[in-house]
Structure 1
Amino acid sequence: MFRASPDSSQTDLFSNVEQFPRARDQEKLNDPNAWQNVFLDQVVKRVPEERFAELFDDATGRPNAPLRLLVGMLILKEGFGWSDEELFEAIHFNLLVRRALGLMNLTDEVPVESTYYLFKRRLYRYQVETGSNLLKEVFQELTRDQAKRLGVVGERLRMDSTLLGSNLAACTRLQLVIGCLQAFWKSLTDEQKVGLSEADRALLDRLCAKRPSQHIYRLEETTKQTWLEALGQVLLRLHQADDLQSSPRYALIERLLLEQYQIDEAGEEPRVVLKPAQEISADSLQSPHDEDAAYRKKRDETVRGYSVNLTETCQEGLNLIVDVQVEPATAADNGYLKDAVQSSEQVLETAAQEISADGAYYSETNEAYAQEQDKEIYYTGFPGKPGQYDYERSDDGVVVIDRQSGERQLAEEYKPGRYRFRVDGKWRYITDKTIDAAACRRRTEALPREFFNRRCNVEASIFQLSYHTRKKNLKYRGRCAVQLWAVCRVAWINIKRIVIYQEKQAEMMA
């Protein structure tokens, strides 16, 4: 049963750490502007533990360690980019880390590994079952409190996104099919396996004997195609077997079958036909080990993973990240803006007036939202180069301007909202969306330098977010794990900003 814990341990006369260091070291340890004391004051002591009450009941029992301490451990791990082993070593033997977590005495108990892992597992399970990210809710509450006490306002916001790869090995189409079959076959009980033919059982056992890469290492391209077709038939038989639908990985092979193959039911028995590669969607399954990851190619960057969007305040002095969103890599940037602004306004309890973002956030929906809410969106750059023609509305209609020659002509409105004009004797067609986008691009080109500098600052936040990744490849798989990582990283970035801000304030007052 849930029970709240004290925000720090009681001082012990004989084991309190402060009595051992030299005076100079004690001064550094107790410095109120040092990171360990800021973290203790701004995070650990203020974690609303009641948010996690639903993770514990009469059946699961009460937590074995203070939840505020476990939350602090999660943030410190991602803040320093530690492994779990490095985290526990630091908690046991690093005085600054122990101070940051409120462990004031050398004899204070540290949570055991199983308690830490069980807490993470419950967070994941709760998010999968309810759709609520408890850690993000705690982050929002902590950030709201920090903003109030430190005078951070949200009249101006800026945002940017980045692509991050999941912890997946690149695989071919055949490796994907073999990997999914392996995962599904291993999830079945012996009773379920008996229902299949002896040939299928023998084939699946052989597939599970090696890694997918080992199976295809020496295969020629024609042989790979034959394997894909044959394994497609196996997938179809597994999908049609009623006894196998209770498997927890049944949805995996169903999704794989429908994304990679077409089912031909014209003959006496249904058969599968491999889909052409160009017909496979970018949000199709990328790995049996991460069903949420998606594929995206952006410029020269190819990612099988996720898109992460940051939103932060934009003012003189201290700025805090107030929202972080994680979606599959196929998510469009312009889909983030409305939810990010609304979430930020809830955290800061003030309405945003100005929003800075790049041109990828432009959409008719976002422009309409900004107009309805009396907000101004400043786009600081559009992807791609401007086209040969620019478009302006005038009293006479839509004016088409040739950027190279400066020639102007009126476009003909042949349908409501649709226009055409002649170039070298051929018609070219545009819509209201094209004209509005051209006007938005002109506004961007006329913006003062100050607005472009805002975007440079949020790009620095993106750099800090992914600082401990391996060339923007994460150590985690699955959307829940990536969301937890992202929340912990932005919580740590905010703490580091508060430390720097308070140090500057102290210097000014000295």
Structure 2
Amino acid sequence: MSLEPWSGGEVPELTRQVARAAFPKGSLAIRLRDSLGQAFDDVLFVEAFPSDGRPAASPGVLAMVSVMQCAERLSDRQAAEAVRAPIDWKYLLGLDLDDSGFVHSMLARFRARLVAHGLEERVLDSVLEAAAGQGLLRRGGRQRTDTTRVVADVRLLNRMEFVAETLRAALEALAAAAPDWLEQALAERETDWLGRYGQCVDSWHGLPDGQDRDSWLRQVGEDGFHLLSAAWRPGAPDWLHRIPALQTLRPAWVQQYHRNEGGVRVRECEDLPPGHQRLASPYDTDARYGIKKTTGWTGYCLHLTETCDDDAPRPITDIATTSAADGDDSQALPGIHTRLAGRELLPGEQLVDSGYVTAGTLVAARQEHGIDLVGPARRITGGDGRERFGHDDFQTDDARRQAVCPAGQTSISWANTRSSRRTRVPLVQIRFDAAACHDCPLRSRTTAGNSKWGRALTLREPAQRAALQQRRREQDTDAWRARYRPRGGIEATVSQIVHRTDARPSRTAPATHLGHCLAATAVNLIRIDTWQQGHRPDRTRTRTRTNHLCHLLARPSK
């Protein structure tokens, strides 16, 4: 399949006349064509197509159809039908009136090509470049970032359901691909294959009589290892290893079981891999289980960044898709800044919530990209919710490697260390005398520590520590609150991208990020069209009328 343009650059005259007559006031598709022209050139996607073979459908046309599909919340079949029927879509795509369009499966193949060649963000970049060319987007200014959860379109499985469904999916795939080989492999082990794995997990009604959880899990593990041993033994067809369900079964069993001379043992508690590595579903190998505050879900996190200047249509400038197990939003911030720098769209000021604000991000954003990160720093609290002493309540002397607590006690040790294996941030570990801390009247408000070593204090490097202390002081001022107030407007963008484009459920694991980029592009086109019609974004409502009235009534009388 070779890349050859499928449609011309100009709208056919007959299509133009009919579209103008049918839509005298215009439509979204007609206005986008008039303002942006042929928004997506075929050259943008040249890396995804070979140079020889039969002509391919125009990737520029397929890209625009994919974006409009998100804007109108259409399935692949409905989008392909829209290419054949509505006049304004033919005008947008530059097609003749008698053009029969394409088969709906082309959209899925086009998306697969973009994912395979790493071109997920190419469509979003093209629209941002067009908006910048029209003066609707510029470097500097003010932007805001927030995150929302994305639920994978899979069932939430407990551990017993997960191992059973993973093995059942592998058996189902082998039964379709190699039934004769599978029949021979199952006959080698006497077990109730049909009774245990013959039905989906959603019809599973608990353990058989006389079997407990541990013995049942061990039995499933032995069955899975038998199937894997048979597939990888000499003489088995080599192509069996490339079956996706069998490729999923292998790492799942490594994560869930131990196997040695003594037999199969189930991994428990700390012996299990961490959540960001452990599979959560056999049908979406990228989805992970995550918890944020009191909400748990299996899927991803979607990070949105948009402009929030008053004289611009507020397009989305960056989309980041991370695992739900990455509960720390601040880890996504360096990638966001790197992509914005590549697009030459770095803001001068970025409004974020407390999840993005750490000592490291405050300093790195300023030093590496010249961004003033505006967001509240979290307070120091204990497990009981009571406010504790913060780092700025301790007097630290980095030159003498000593610290003095609010009660006047001097530290007994000062050691350089690093954070967890994933981040490896340089830290300073400070400890106080256990005997002095035991009788201290301020013990309930000091930092936590065990009785052996007394109170403990963990600090960042001096520059990061100073930035965090300054933020905690200034965020209590009215001037800072007024500066931070526009951040709340991004909630409207989260609502629009979730409800208008249906971006929250993730139906295809490899194309999750691509789907988010297409949804963001659709929102950008809608906002650009709205702006060019003369409509301006509404002012962010920070307080309802009832809330304002109650606030006035609560004021003390003079």
Normalising by the smaller structure, the TM-score range is 0.7 to 0.9
Secondary structure of 1:61 counterpart: coil
For the pair 1:370 / 2:355, whether they are aligned, the reply is: no
Single out whichever of 378-387 and 300-309 deviates more from structure 2: 378-387
- What's the counterpart of residue 321 of structure 1? 316
- What's the counterpart of residue 455 of structure 1? 487
Alignment match of 1:379 (pick from 371, 375, 380): 375
| Residues 306 and 327, structure 1, Cα contact 8 Å, conserved in 2 | yes
State the 1:222 CA deviation.
4.8
Q: Which runs of 5+ in 1 are unaligned?
A: 402-407
Distance 2:210 2:202 in 1: 14
- What's the counterpart of residue 391 of structure 2? 391
| Residues 288 and 324, structure 2, Cα contact 8 Å, conserved in 1 | yes
State the 1:424 CA deviation.
4.1
Distance 1:47 1:323 in 2: 18
| Residues 157 and 356, structure 1, Cα contact 8 Å, conserved in 2 | yes
Q: Which runs of 5+ in 2 are unaligned?
A: 416-427, 444-453, 537-558
| Residues 314 and 454, structure 1, Cα contact 8 Å, conserved in 2 | yes
Count of aligned pairs between the two proteins: 477
Report matched runs for 1:181-200 at 5 Å. Answer: 181-188=167-174, 189-190=178-179, 192-193=181-182, 196-198=185-187, 200=189
State the 1:486 CA deviation.
0.5
- 1:174-221 per-residue CA deviation (whole Å, 9 max, x = no partner) reads 221122112222333245425625154874455553112223357579
Secondary structure of 1:387 counterpart: coil
State the 1:476 CA deviation.
0.9
State the 1:391 CA deviation.
3.0
Secondary structure of 2:79 counterpart: helix
For the pair 1:136 / 2:167, whether they are aligned, the reply is: no
For the pair 1:289 / 2:283, whether they are aligned, the reply is: yes
State the 1:307 CA deviation.
0.8
Distance 1:350 1:467 in 2: 27
Secondary structure of 2:347 counterpart: coil
For the pair 1:412 / 2:411, whether they are aligned, the reply is: yes
- What's the counterpart of residue 250 of structure 2? 254
Single out whichever of 158-167 and 74-83 deviates more from structure 2: 74-83
- What's the counterpart of residue 121 of structure 1? 112
- What's the counterpart of residue 334 of structure 2? 338
Distance 1:315 1:469 in 2: 24
State the 1:383 CA deviation.
7.8
Residue identity over aligned pairs, in percent, reads: 19
Distance 1:411 1:362 in 2: 30
One-letter amino acid of the counterpart of residue 458, structure 2? T
Report matched runs for 1:214-229 at 5 Å. Answer: 214-217=203-206, 219=208, 222-229=211-218
Single out whichever of 199-208 and 221-230 deviates more from structure 2: 199-208
State the 1:491 CA deviation.
0.5
Secondary structure of 2:125 counterpart: helix
Alignment match of 2:98 (pick from 84, 103, 107): 107
| Residues 352 and 375, structure 1, Cα contact 8 Å, conserved in 2 | yes
Alignment match of 1:487 (pick from 500, 511, 517): 517
State the 1:357 CA deviation.
1.4
| Residues 377 and 471, structure 2, Cα contact 8 Å, conserved in 1 | no
State the 1:75 CA deviation.
0.9
State the 1:62 CA deviation.
1.9
| Residues 291 and 324, structure 2, Cα contact 8 Å, conserved in 1 | no
One-letter amino acid of the counterpart of residue 353, structure 1? G
State the 1:107 CA deviation.
2.1
| Residues 311 and 321, structure 1, Cα contact 8 Å, conserved in 2 | yes
Single out whichever of 199-208 and 159-168 deviates more from structure 2: 199-208
One-letter amino acid of the counterpart of residue 3, structure 2? F
- 1:280-317 per-residue CA deviation (whole Å, 9 max, x = no partner) reads 53231111110000001112211100111112223222
State the 1:20 CA deviation.
4.6
Distance 1:107 1:383 in 2: 65
One-letter amino acid of the counterpart of residue 382, structure 1? R
Q: TM-score, normalised by structure 1?
A: 0.82
- 1:382-426 per-residue CA deviation (whole Å, 9 max, x = no partner) reads 38867321332658775655xxxxxx6465362153334537436
Question: 1:200–1:108: structure 2 CA closer, same or farther, 3 Å change rule?
Answer: same
One-letter amino acid of the counterpart of residue 477, structure 1? T
One-letter amino acid of the counterpart of residue 111, structure 1? F
One-letter amino acid of the counterpart of residue 198, structure 2? A
Question: 1:291–1:52: structure 2 CA closer, same or farther, 3 Å change rule?
Answer: same
- 1:330-354 per-residue CA deviation (whole Å, 9 max, x = no partner) reads 123111111111211221x254332
Q: TM-score, normalised by structure 2?
A: 0.76
| Residues 123 and 517, structure 2, Cα contact 8 Å, conserved in 1 | no
Question: 1:173–1:60: structure 2 CA closer, same or farther, 3 Å change rule?
Answer: farther
